[in-house]
Chains A and B, each alone.
Chain A
Amino acid sequence: MTRNTQNAKREFLRESTVMKIHYVTGLAALFTVAVHVMMRLIMPFSMSLEYENVVANYQNILYALLLESILVLISIHGFNGLRVMLLELRQGKIWEKFVILSTLAAMLVVIGYGTRTIIIVNGLNL
Chain B
Amino acid sequence: MVREKAFSAQNSQNRANREGLKGWLNPTRYGWERLSYWLMRLTGLFLLVYFVGHVYETSNLVGGVNAWNSMLELTQTTWGHIFLILVIGTSTFHSINGIRLIFAETARGLGKPGRPDYPYEAVSLNNIQRSGIWVALILAAAAMLYGSSVLFGGE
Binding site for B on A (CB under 8 A): 19, 23, 26-27, 30, 33, 41, 44-46, 49, 51, 54-55, 58, 71, 74-75, 78-79, 81-82, 85, 88-91, 110, 113-114, 116-117, 120-121
Contact-residue bracket for chain B = 20 to 34
Considering only residues 21-76 of chain B, those with a C-beta below 8 Å from chain A are: 21, 24, 41, 44-45, 47-48, 51-52, 55-56, 58-59, 61-62, 65, 68-69, 72, 76
Residue pair A81, B62 in contact (C-beta under 8 Å): no
- Contact between A79 and B59, CB atoms less than 8 A apart: no
Q: How far, in angstroms, from A40 to B155 measured CA to CA in the complex?
A: 11
Please state if A110 and B52 are interface contacts (CB–CB under 8 Å): yes
Shortest distance between the CB of B25 and any CB in chain A (Å): 11
> How many angstroms from the CA of A55 to the CA of B18 in the assembled complex?
51
Contacts of A46 in B (CB 8 A): 76
Closest to B60 in A: A117
Q: Would A30 and B68 count as touching, CB distance under 8 A?
A: no
Taking CB atoms, residues of chain B closer than 8 Å to A30 are 95, 98
